[in-house]
Amino acid sequence: MKKCSFLIVGVILFLMGCGNNGDETIDSTDAEFIAIVQLEQDLHIYNETASEPININDLQLLSNDTVFSSSSKAWEVSFNYKDGLTNKTVATNAVAQYSVDPSGKITATTHSFE
């Protein structure tokens, strides 16, 4: 019986060590918030040298397009102009896109503000 008790205690201790390593997993709302903060910073940098600055209020979050990508293992968060155009002749899917991993770190950024 003592051997069985030691075995059970050993297994419990082993399993406790195999638990979550402390990384929190974020949801789509958290990923969108992180991306919005980064978008504001990127726009600020862009607007410092742009001949035609972009107003943050002219952009919108495409929340229906926020998905978790199994290939990149990250939330894909997209933004577009509210009118859906980057210029008068070309419609675009997204003016800015951010990949936010489950820990909340931005792993990839793509934007075409011009």
Half-sphere exposure of 53 (CA within 13 A, CB side): 11
- What are the pLDDT digits (tens) for 52-111? 899 999 899 888 888 898 888 999 999 988 876 555 555 555 789 999 999 999 999 998
The predicted model scores a pTM of 0.70
99 φ/ψ sector (left φ>0, alpha ψ -120 to 50, else beta): beta
**3-state SS, residue 77:** strand
Q: Which residues pair with 82 in a beta bridge?
A: none
Q: Using CB atoms within 10 A of its CB, is residue 78 exposed (0-12), middle (13-18) or buried (19+)? A: buried
